[in-house]
Every structure is written in structure tokens, then in C-alpha cells.
Amino acid sequence: MRLLTHTARCVLHTHPPPPGSSRGFWGWLNAVFNKVDYERIKTVGPDRAAAEWLLRCGAKVRFCGFDRWQHDYNGLPTGPLGRYKIQAIDATESCIMYRGFDYLNGLQHVEEIKLVKCIYIEDACLERLSQTESLQASMREMSVVSCGNVTDKGIIALHHLRNLEYLFLSDLPAIKEKEKTTDRLQTALPKLTIDLDLA
């Protein structure tokens, strides 16, 4: 079954609904995209299932050993179970939300995650991400940009990503105590470079 194209999916969650439509419908549809299919995870493995989830929601993935980003759901590579491992996630303008984060369990090779203009990303998402054991070991770089629901609490939670080396924070209006928050993070992760572009 072919799903919506990447372009069509992005229209669903990056532009306001047309006049006369209901915001509730778009929220419901995005929630459907984020529903976790545990049987699918068992059948195709965590990386393939997570890639399908991310692409359904308008994100992109890059697999280990490849330079090219995958953004077309219907173009995901096929092959032996477990052959393709997700190394990087670019969730720019995607509709990923907390209810889908169980897809992150079992991802052993993710080194980079970009959360840019993600309207459903909130503190609980960052807390959930940072408590995922495999990501605690593998994550090296992260960007959180223009995610209006992220507060100091969510950023501080990232201290669980013990191997994080670089963190870029920009346009996060709900961050109220940037110095205190970044100091706490820096204390917990002395080797972390934090790049700030906060008002």
C-alpha cells in the first residue's frame, strides 16, 4: 500500500488547515501517524519500523554507511532484516509526537537528532528520548530549534544522554532561565558543547 507522499504529508501538519476544516481532524490524523504498531516492530525490526514511523510523519532518516537522507516512505530500502540501521534523524517540520516515541526503543546506532519546528514536541518528549537506554549510549549531536512547547525542564532532562557532545538550542521562547539551565546541563555533561541562540 502506498502512503501519502512526503509533500502531501507535510501539508497536513506544517500549514494551517483550510477555511472551514477542523483543527481536530488534523490532530487526529497526526495521532494516527504516531500510533505504535508493536507487531510491526517484531516483524521488521526496530530500525525499519522506526524509519516507517518517522517518514510517515514527514521526518527524514539517514542509515549507517550512507550519505543520502531517506525522505520517501515508498523508497525505503529493502533487504535482510536488520541490514539498515538508523544513524541520524531529521524531524524538521514533522508531526512526530510523544505517543510514537516507543519506536525509539531498540535503536542502537542513532548519533544525531534534529528537532526543528516540531509543533508536537514538548518536555515529555525530551524526557522520554533521554530515558531511552540505547540513545543514552549512542547520541552525540542534537538540535532543538523553534519548538515552542519546550521549556527549561525538557532541556535539563537531556543530561541523561551521557555521550552527547554537541547541543544546538535556538528560538525556544518557553526557555526562561537559559543561563541556569545550560549551567546545570554543562555541569552534568562536562564534555558537552552547547551552542545557544536564545533571546
* CATH number belonging to domain 24-197: 3.80.10.10
| Cell, residue 136 | 543514552
110 and 86 Cβ atoms separated by less than 8 Å: yes
Mean pLDDT by 10 residues, the chain (199 residues): 40 44 58 90 95 96 96 90 93 96 97 97 97 97 98 98 98 96 96 92
Residue 113, burial from CB neighbour count under 10 angstroms (0-12, 13-18, 19+): buried
User: Percent helix, strand, coil in the chain (nearest 5)?
Assistant: 40, 15, 45
Closest CA to 54 of 118, 131, 147: 118
Per DSSP, the three-state class of 65 is coil
What are the extents of the domains in the chain?
Answer: 24-197
For residue 23, the model assigns a pLDDT of 54
For residue 141, the model assigns a pLDDT of 98
DSSP state of 77: -
